[in-house]
Structures are given as C-alpha cells and as structure tokens.
Structure 1
Amino acid sequence: MILPKKLKRGDTVGVIAPASPPNQQNLEKSLSFLKELGVNVKMGKYVNEVNGYLAGSDEERLADLHAMFKDPSVQAIICAGGGYGSARIAHSIDYDLIKRNPKIFWGYSDITFLHTAIRQQTGLVTFHGPMLASDVGKEEFHALSKKMFLQLFEPMELHYSEDISPLEVLAEGERVGEIVGGNLSLIQSSLGTPFELDTEGKILFIEDIDEEPYRIDSMLNQLCMAGKLQNACGIVVGDFKNAVPTNDKLSLSLEEVLESYLGNLETPVLKGFKMGHCEPHFSVPLGAKAKLSSKTKTLTIMPGVQS
C-alpha cells in the first residue's frame, strides 16, 4: 500500500476528464472552491475536448492522465466528471509511471474502473469523492462534502456513524480490511478483465445511480457467482439513487434485492451510507485499512495520505 503525500496550501491540483465531457460551466464554477482550499489549478490540455460521449479521444484522455502524474509541479489530480470512458484507457496506462510518481487521485462513478486498476497495479491509495463539474460546481454542494476534502491536507481517521445518516444492519459482524470498490456497474464490468476487482479479505463498498432493481439484481448476481461477495470480509452499501422500476413494471424493491444477496453473508453488511451520487457525499480513501462493525453501526477508515 502506497499513501500519497498530503497537500499543502500553494500546491497545484491537476484537473482531467478521463470519461465523458464535463459541464464546462459547472467546471468553471468549481474552481473557486479549489481556491478556497488554498491550492492552484492546472487544467489538462484536453479537458475541453468533445468526442461524442467521450471527453476527447482515448489517446487525448490518456495523455492528460499521464501528463499530470509525470508533472512534478502537480501534487494531486482531481477528475472533472464521470459518465463513460475510463475503462477504455485502462489497458494503455503506464502503471510504472504512476508507481514512480504516486500522488493524490480523486473521483468516483465511472472513475471506479481507474481506482481499481491503479490500486491493484501499483498499490496506490486513491480517493472516492465528489468531482468538480459533476458535484462541486453545482448549486447544492453540502458542507460535509466540502469538509471531506480536508483529509487531503492532514492524515485523519474517518468515522462514519449514525450521526451522519441512519444505518441498517443486513448481516452481523465486525471485521477489518482494506476498503475497495465504488460504482457497482463499473465493478461488474471489471470481471473477466486484467483489472478484475479483488475482494478477498477486503471490505467491499458499492453504490450506483439510475439502475432499476432488476439491473442491480443482475449485477449482484454476477458478483455472487464470481465469489466477490462471499470473499469480502464486509460490505458497505452506499447510496443507490433512483433505484426504482420504470413504467409501473412489476418489480422487487431495492431493499428486497439487497436482502436476497447480502442478508445471509457471514460477514458484516450495513446499508444507508451517504457515499456515492448523493449529498452529502462522504469521501473515502480506497485501499486504506477500515473497520466495519454491526455492533456499533460504524465504519472507521485509516488516513489516506502520508503524515
């Protein structure tokens, strides 16, 4: 496990768009928040590019990723947005470059594929947190979501309890392991690839948006058949925004689907975490050691940056 160096006031943050074109107006608005944090901003060369549903060609998006990791003046990399496209560049990334130049890498949603690929190829802890155009630059950005960025400036142990949101126990237990995962559909898409998510002895975190219950059922079923749920030492169920059937179709509820796959596991499973496409958005360092307890209904995560 490699912890990136912490940020200091005056450091430079690089901004890239590895997936879909970000909303440029929201991206521009988000920059004032970075200035409030006391950091400078360096925009990727191709952040403004549009190639259908992609933010430029695969080569351009990959070039921005490589350039930011290679640039010694950049201390952290924050993704402008998600959408689709990160997995298209995973096989071409120079992971040795990243391992030689470890630094903060922050994003979520479609960026889940890059989190998994980078961590498993290099050991670098990366951060699942709100992105600039997708979240920070919108009218509503919760105070807690803002506060979560402070973990980049000082090593801090993160504590999630029912002080933040009600939590429900689906399976009892208390375990310690690295927290991994992110967006469920991106986790599923990693199966059968060189970047397949390893859940052995780890705390698996899942979240998603705009997926009907039958789709979540399908994804969890595939993870179950692949042994990913059974191999995990704990499961953190984040926010599943708009997980409802459309067109008044007959359907199981999200709660019934989750209970079916997660309720009988012999490891702690808790749901209700405000982690994912939601406000507030509790950000976590993926790859860091964590403790999940059904007894205290808490998730504790060790710092994601060096002291």
Structure 2
Amino acid sequence: MIYPNRLQPGQTVGVIAPASPPDLNHLQRAIPFLNELGLHVKIAPHVSCTYGYLAGTDEQRLNDLHMMFADRDVDAIICAGGGYGTGRIADSIDYKLIKNHPKIFWGYSDITYLHTAIRQKTGLVTFHGPMLSSDIGKDDFDDFSKSMFHQLFQPVTLNYTQDISPLHVISEGESEGRVVGGNLSLLVNSIGSDYELNTKNKLLFIEDIGEEPYRIDSFLSQLQLSGKLEDAAGIIIGDFKDSQPKKRNESLSLEQVLHHYLAHLEKPVVSGFKIGHCLPHFAIPLGTKARLSSFSKTLVIQPGVS
C-alpha cells in the first residue's frame, strides 16, 4: 500500500466534483472550515459546471481529477459531493499519474467507485469521509465529524467503541484485514468490471442511503453469489439512512435482511457504526489494516497517512 503524506498547516487542498453538481452555496460555506484547519483551498475549474445530472461532462470531471493529482502545489484532494457519475470516468483515469503523485483523496457515497478503482490500480490509501457541499457546508455538521479531519495531520490509530454508538453483533468472531468497501450499491455496480471489489481476507465495510430492505436484499444477494461475503475476513456495517419500506406495507425489516445473509458467516459481523450518510460521521481510511471484534465490540483502524 502507498500511504499519502500527512498534511501540514499552510498546505493546499484541491476541490473537485467528480459526480453530480454540488450545491455551490453549501460549498462556499464549507471553505472556512478548511481555512480554520490552516489550509488553503484551490477549486478545480469545472466544479460549478453542469451536464444534466453530472457536474460537467466526463472529460471535464476527468480533467479536474487529473489536474489536482498532477498539481505539485496541491497536497490533498477533497470531493465537493457525491450523487452519480464516478463510474463513468473510471476507465479513463490515468492511474499511473496517481501512483506517481500520491496524495490524500477524501470523499464517500458515489466516490466509493473511485476509492476502489484507485486503491486496486495503484495501492493508494484513500479516505471515506464527509464532503464539502454534502456535509461540511450545512448547519448541522457537528464537532465530532469535524474532529475526524485531524487524522490527516498526523498518523492516528482510530478506535471505534460503543462510546460512539451502540454496536450490534450479527455474527461472532474477531479478525484482521485491510478495510475496503463503501456504498453498497456502488460496490455491486463494480462486479464484472475491471474495478470489481476484492474482498479476499479484507474487512468489508458497507453503508447506503435511501434503499428499501428489498433493494438491500438484492445487493447482498449479489455479494453472496459473487463470493464477496465468503471471501471477507469480517464485515463492518455502517449507517443505512432512510432504509424503511416505502412502496408497500409488507416488508422484511433491514435487520431481518442483514441477518439472513450475514448471521451464518463464521466471522465477525457487527452493525451500528456511524460511518456513511449520517451524523456524526466517523471518517476512516480505506486500505489500511484494522481489527474487528464482536467480543469487545470494537473496531481499531491503523493510520492512513505517513
């Protein structure tokens, strides 16, 4: 794995929008937070562009991504928001450029596709954390979530315990592995492509938003049939926001769906982590080693910067 260099006060963060158009008002309201961290901000040329449901054409969004990785004055890249669109550019990314210019890359939701593609093509550790337009620029962005950015300034071992949120054991066990994953629907979308998620001996993290139990059922079925659940060393279940049934009164609950696919696995499976489309938002590095234990109900993740 390649660990990006830690940030120093006075360095510069580049902002890109590789998926859907961000809310520009929320984006501008988020910039002072980065300034308070002692960072300068450089916004990519096409962040304010729109092309239907995309933040500019594929070429514009790809150019912004390449520009920020190539720019020697930019020390980290944070995504303005998610939505949809990163899978469209994955096949055109210059992964050699990224490998030769490794730096902090931060985002979540649709950015999951880029996390997987970049890690598996280059070995770069990236970060699953709150974004500018989607989270930081809103009134309810909380101090705990803000504190998660401190891990970018020094190597910090992250310890998730029940002091943060109640955790629930679905399958007992304790195991180690590198953390991979992200948004469940995006992970499923990668199957059959060159960017198909590798879960072999990994701790698989999943989260999602707005998906009813039957949809989550279909996603987990695909992961099961493709061997991803069996391959994983353990499973970290993050937040599933707005997952209640909407289309019909008769439905399995989210808990029933999770237990159907995961309770029989002879490995640790723990739910309740506040990682995903939620507040507080516990930001984590992807690609670093971690230990998940159902016995102590803890997740310990090694630092993501050098």
CA distance in 2, matches of 1:202, 1:248: 36
Q: After superposition, where does 1:36-185 map in structure 2 within 5 Å?
A: 36-185=36-185
Partner Cα distance (1:249, 1:63) in 2: 46
Residue identity matched to 2:153: F
* Structure-2 separation of matches of 1:36 and 1:257: 43
Q: What code does the residue aligned with 1:8 have?
A: Q
Match of 1:20 in 2: 20
Question: Secondary structure of 1:146's partner?
Answer: helix
Measure the CA separation in 2 of the matches of 1:266 and 1:93. Answer: 38
| SS of equivalent residue, structure 2 residue 92 | coil
TM-score of the aligned structures, taking structure 2 as reference length: 1.00
Q: Which residue of 2 aligns with 1:203?
A: 203
Alpha-carbon separation, structure 1, partners of 2:267 and 2:180: 16
Unmatched tracts of structure 2, length 5 or more? none
RMSD: 0.5
How far did 1:248 drift?
4.0
- Cα distance in 2 between the residues matched to 1:228 and 1:136: 33
Question: How many corresponding residue pairs?
Answer: 306
Deviation by residue 1:43-80 (Cα, 9 ceiling, x = unmatched): 00100001110000000000000000000000000000
1:194: which partner in 2?
A: 194
Shift of 1:247: 3.9
SS of residue matched to 1:33: helix
Partner SS for 1:91: helix
Deviation track 1:7-61 (CA, whole Å, cap 9, x = no partner) reads 0000000000000000000000000100110000000010000111000000000
Aligned to 1:279: 279
SS where residue 144 of structure 2 aligns? Answer: helix
Query: What amino acid does structure 1 have at the position aligned with 2:100?
Result: R
CA distance in 1, matches of 2:247, 2:174: 40
Q: Which residue identity lines up with residue 269 of structure 2 in the other structure?
A: V
- What amino acid does structure 2 have at the position aligned with 1:229? L
Give me the whole-angstrom Cα distance separating, in 1, the residues matched to 2:218 and 2:248.
Answer: 19
Q: Which residue of 2 aligns with 1:217?
A: 217
Q: What amino acid maps onto 1:159 in structure 2?
A: N
Corresponding residue for residue 235 of structure 1? 235
In 2, distance between residues paired with 1:12 and 1:297?
Answer: 37
- Structure 1: gaps of 5 or more residues: none
Displacement after TM superposition at 1:249 (Å): 2.7
**Could you tell me which residue of structure 1 aligns to residue 297 of structure 2?**
297
1 CA distance for matches of 2:120 and 2:284?
17
Q: Distance in 2 between matches of 1:262 and 1:248?
A: 25
Stretches of 4+ aligned residues off by more than 6 angstroms: none
Map 1:223-262 onto structure 2 (within 5 A): 223-262=223-262
Q: Equivalents in 2 of 1:266, 1:295: separation in Å?
A: 14
**Cα-to-partner distance string for 1:205-235 (whole Å, 9 max, x where unaligned):** 0000000000000000000000000100000
Q: 1:143: Cα distance to partner?
A: 1.1
1:300 aligns to what SS in structure 2? strand
- Cα distance between partner residues in 2 of 1:213 and 1:230: 21
Q: When the two structures are superposed, what TM-score results if normalisation uses the length of structure 1?
A: 0.99
Aligned residue type for 1:14: G
Which AA in structure 2 matches 1:251? S
